[in-house]
């Protein structure tokens, strides 16, 4: 799976301060660390980028490109910042993201065409996040058609189904796999991506990793092409690189409904089985799901 | 062709909790079908009805709900007996005197009052503290100790205070009420934590019961889902009976305070709704509501 490193995020206080003071150190350290850890792309999440969007984005892109050759995922809701970022990228970037929202279709999608980028298109619409597989399908079909009409081919489109936290909506977490598995039939050639860490948003910090890792494996099996993820999680990268096949196998078996006696497994493996069942919606989530 | 109605069978079973000792004892829960699904199995323990008394005169109660108890409001024992005359299956003593925001009465005084009530009536007793999570530790552990062996149902036990209270309840043979704020994930989390040291057949779930028009549908949904998860999907951490402590929430509404008939209906409609959602025991205030629910449970409504 293609991993997009999520750590350069304006919500992080360190990053926010560094951007405000145009201090390259924190940013470059994060870029280097993620690149060493095994990221395929570096995400630059600028949020709404209200202040000096052009100058700030250009500075950030250049600051990061000074220390890594990886392609960038320019992640902002502000089309002005987006354009400045895409213009400054040396390698073919990922526009992250556009959606079915009117303003996004009008102002973001044309940038993907103009700068010949890959582009994330999420299922969000003017009404918010579609609540089930059918309405997600309806939304993405419509937006991709518009993108195709602009001359953006399916091969350049990375569909984002929008993942919700398991602590908030367990049912939708379980259904996301279904959406990903039908994508190839719906829109041949499209790729897919998710904001992986969102699945564990709201879960106690020390328990987030295993949710992220398990969900990555589950959705990977359904055909997920890439994830915006915490690449500084060594176990996550190791699993992604095929270094923990026994864990992957265990998750697959659990997904297939095999009854694996927990007592035959060590603690780490038990935790992966329990987590898979929670993410499948088979056991009700609680913060204490590993303690049962 | 003859029509045959589909009948489901379920894998899960709600734990049977015993409240009270000897011939006072009653059982709640124990069913392996959904609420009122008589066509799918037996409901061996129909829902039970508690009427609520306080250990101090409840000055703030609406006059319609004070009126049936007007001679006994200052005497918890006489009040409890009156509730039994009105048809309650059990008594819920709320230790309102201990509330730090009110009289802040000491734990041993409140515990002594509970002991007197328990010793004077032929019915099992539920004890609710004031709901102050710190004060309730002192109050409920004292009640547990003073009434050792009486098999009370004690609560609320919340995530901030479950350890000392559940330990006291365990040591002295009582059951506990696990209370969480209208959230099924938190409800499960508390149960998981309790189950590490506490037996499942001595826990009753209180997901909080909101009044009609004030969020009752949230309580309904959570009770309904709790039963689905426990009975249909067999999740052993969610297979405890449910208590709907709804009298107070009903009678504090503007509508209930406006007039007597409306107040009784306000309480009764919340009560029948939560019974249908899966409550195994109701805490009510007005004797007429209690009577209506009795008729409903016996299939007369």
**Which tokens hold the place of B40?**
């799918």
In a domain, A104, yes or no: yes
In a domain, A276, yes or no: no
Report the number of distinct structural domains present in chain A.
1
Render pLDDT for A199-226 as a digit per residue (tens, 0 to 9).
Answer: 999 999 999 999 999 999 999 999 999 9
A 151-180 residues with CB < 8 A to B = 167
Distance from CA of A125 to the nearest CA of B (A): 28
Whether the Cβ atoms of residue A51 and residue A72 lie closer than 8 Å to each other = no
Q: Is residue A108 part of a domain?
A: yes
Dihedral of the alpha carbons of A10, A15, A21, A27, in degrees to the nearest 10: -120
Residues in chain A with CB shorter than 8 Å from the CB of B188 are: 284-286, 288
Q: Is the pLDDT of residue B35 over 90?
A: yes
In a domain, residue A26? The reply is: yes
Question: What chain B residue is nearest to A289 in terms of C-alpha separation?
Answer: B189
Residue B9 CA, distance from chain mean position: 28
| Chain pair A-B, CB pairs under 8 angstroms | 32
Inside any domain, residue A129: yes
User: Comparing A12-21, A248-257, B162-171, which segment has the lowest mean pLDDT?
Assistant: A12-21
Q: For residue A261, tell me if it sits in a domain.
A: no
Q: How far is B186 from chain A (nearest CA, A)?
A: 6
- pLDDT of residue B120 exceeding 70, the answer is yes
What is the residue range of A127's domain? 2-253
Tell whether the model's pLDDT for residue B8 goes beyond 90: no
Structural domains of chain B sorted by starting position, each given as residue range(s) with its CATH number in brackets: 19-297 (3.20.20.20)
The answer to whether residues B264 and B24 touch, using CB atoms and an 8 Å cutoff, is: no
Q: Using one digit for the tens of pLDDT, what is the confidence trace for A261-284?
A: 999 999 999 999 999 999 999 999
DSSP annotation of A70: S
Provide the pLDDT for residue B300.
59
- List of E strands, chain B: 16-19, 26-29, 48-54, 90-94, 125-128, 153-157, 175-179, 203-206, 243-245, 281-284
Asked whether the beta carbons of residue B184 and residue A292 sit closer than 8 angstroms, the reply is no
> Which residues of chain A make contact with B184, given a CB cutoff of 8 A?
284
Most A-contacting residue of B159, B190, B192 (CB-CB within 10 A), to test interface: B192
Residue A182's φ and ψ, nearest 5 degrees, are: -95, -10
Interval A162-187 mean pLDDT? 94
C-alpha of A257 from chain center: 27
User: Do residues A273 and A280 lie in contact, with contact meaning Cβ atoms separated by under 8 Å?
Assistant: no
Q: Could you give the CA distance from residue B58 to residue B55 in angstroms, rounded to a whole number?
A: 8
Instruction: Average the pLDDT over B107-119 and give the result.
Output: 97
Confidence bin at B1 (pLDDT 50/70/90): confident
Q: How far is B192 from chain A (nearest CA, A)?
A: 6
Look at residue B41 in the predicted model and tell me its pLDDT: 87
Model's pTM, two decimal places?
A: 0.87
Interface of chain B toward chain A, CB-CB under 8 angstroms: 184-189, 192-193, 196, 229, 233, 235, 237-238
Give the CATH number of the domain where residue A81 resides.
3.20.20.20
Question: Burial level of A168, CB count in 10 A (0-12/13-18/19+)?
Answer: middle
Asked whether residue A271 is assigned to any structural domain, the reply reads no
A182 lies in a domain? Answer: yes
Structure tokens at B17: 């909790």
Cα separation, A81 vs A231, whole angstroms? 25
pLDDT at residue B202 tops 90 = yes
* Nearest one of A102, A182, A189 to A146, comparing CA atoms: A102
């Amino acid at each position: 799976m293609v991993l997009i490193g999520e750590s350069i995020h304006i919500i992080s206080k360190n990053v926010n301060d560094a951007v405000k003071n145009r201090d390259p150190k924190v940013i470059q350290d994060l870029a280097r660390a993620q690149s060493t850890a095994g990221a395929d792309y570096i995400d630059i999440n600028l949020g709404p980028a209200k202040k000096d969007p052009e100058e700030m984005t250009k500075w950030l892109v250049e600051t990061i490109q000074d220390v890594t050759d990886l392609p960038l995922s320019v992640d902002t809701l502000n089309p002005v910042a987006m354009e400045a970022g895409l213009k400054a990228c040396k390698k073919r970037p990922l526009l992250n993201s556009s959606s079915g929202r009117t303003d996004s279709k009008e102002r973001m999608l044309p940038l993907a065409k103009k700068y010949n980028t890959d582009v994330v298109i999420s299922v969000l619409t003017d009404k918010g996040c579609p609540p089930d597989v059918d309405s997600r399908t309806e939304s993405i079909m419509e937006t991709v058609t518009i993108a195709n009409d602009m001359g953006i081919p399916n091969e350049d489109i990375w569909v984002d189904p929008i993942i919700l936290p398991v602590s908030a909506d367990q049912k939708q977490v379980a259904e996301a796999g279904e959406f990903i598995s039908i994508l190839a039939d719906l829109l041949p050639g499209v790729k897919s991506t998710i904001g992986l860490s969102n699945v564990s948003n709201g879960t106690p910090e020390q328990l987030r990793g295993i949710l992220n890792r398990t969900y990555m494996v589950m959705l990977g099996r359904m055909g997920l092409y890439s994830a915006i993820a915490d690449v500084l999680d060594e176990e996550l990268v190791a699993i992604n690189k095929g270094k923990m096949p026994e864990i992957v196998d265990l998750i697959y078996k659990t997904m297939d409904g095999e009854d694996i006696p927990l007592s035959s497994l060590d603690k780490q493996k038990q935790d992966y089985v329990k987590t898979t069942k929670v993410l499948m919606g088979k056991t009700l989530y609680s913060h204490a799901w590993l303690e049962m | 062709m003859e029509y045959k109605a589909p009948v489901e069978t379920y894998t899960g079973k709600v734990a049977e909790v015993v409240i009270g000792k000897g011939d006072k004892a009653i059982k709640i829960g124990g069913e392996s079908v959904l609420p009122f699904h008589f066509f799918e199995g037996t409901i061996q323990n129909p829902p039970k009805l508690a009427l609520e008394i306080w250990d101090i005169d409840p000055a703030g109660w609406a006059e319609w709900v004070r009126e049936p108890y007007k001679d006994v409001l200052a005497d918890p024992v006489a009040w409890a007996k009156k509730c039994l005359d009105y048809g309650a299956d059990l008594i819920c003593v709320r230790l309102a005197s201990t509330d730090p925001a009110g009289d802040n009465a000491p734990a041993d005084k409140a515990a002594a009052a509970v002991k007197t009530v328990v010793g004077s009536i032929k019915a099992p007793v539920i004890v609710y503290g004031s709901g102050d999570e710190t004060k309730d530790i002192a109050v409920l552990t004292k009640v547990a100790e003073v009434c050792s062996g009486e098999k009370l149902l004690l609560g609320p036990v919340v995530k901030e205070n479950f350890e000392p209270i559940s330990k006291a309840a365990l040591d002295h043979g009582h059951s506990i009420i696990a209370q969480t704020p209208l959230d099924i994930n938190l409800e499960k989390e508390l149960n998981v934590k309790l189950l590490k040291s506490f037996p499942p057949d001595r826990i009753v779930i209180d997901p909080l019961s909101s009044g009609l028009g004030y969020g009752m549908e949230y309580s309904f949904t959570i009770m309904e889902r709790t039963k689905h998860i426990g009975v249909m999907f067999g999740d052993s951490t969610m297979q405890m009976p449910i208590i709907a402590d709804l009298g107070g929430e009903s009678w504090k509404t503007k509508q209930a305070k406006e007039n007597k008939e409306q107040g009784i209906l306000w309480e009764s409609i919340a009560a029948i709704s939560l019974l249908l959602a899966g409550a195994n025991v109701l805490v009510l205030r007005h004797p007429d509501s209690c009577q209506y629910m009795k008729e409903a449970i016996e299939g007369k409504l």
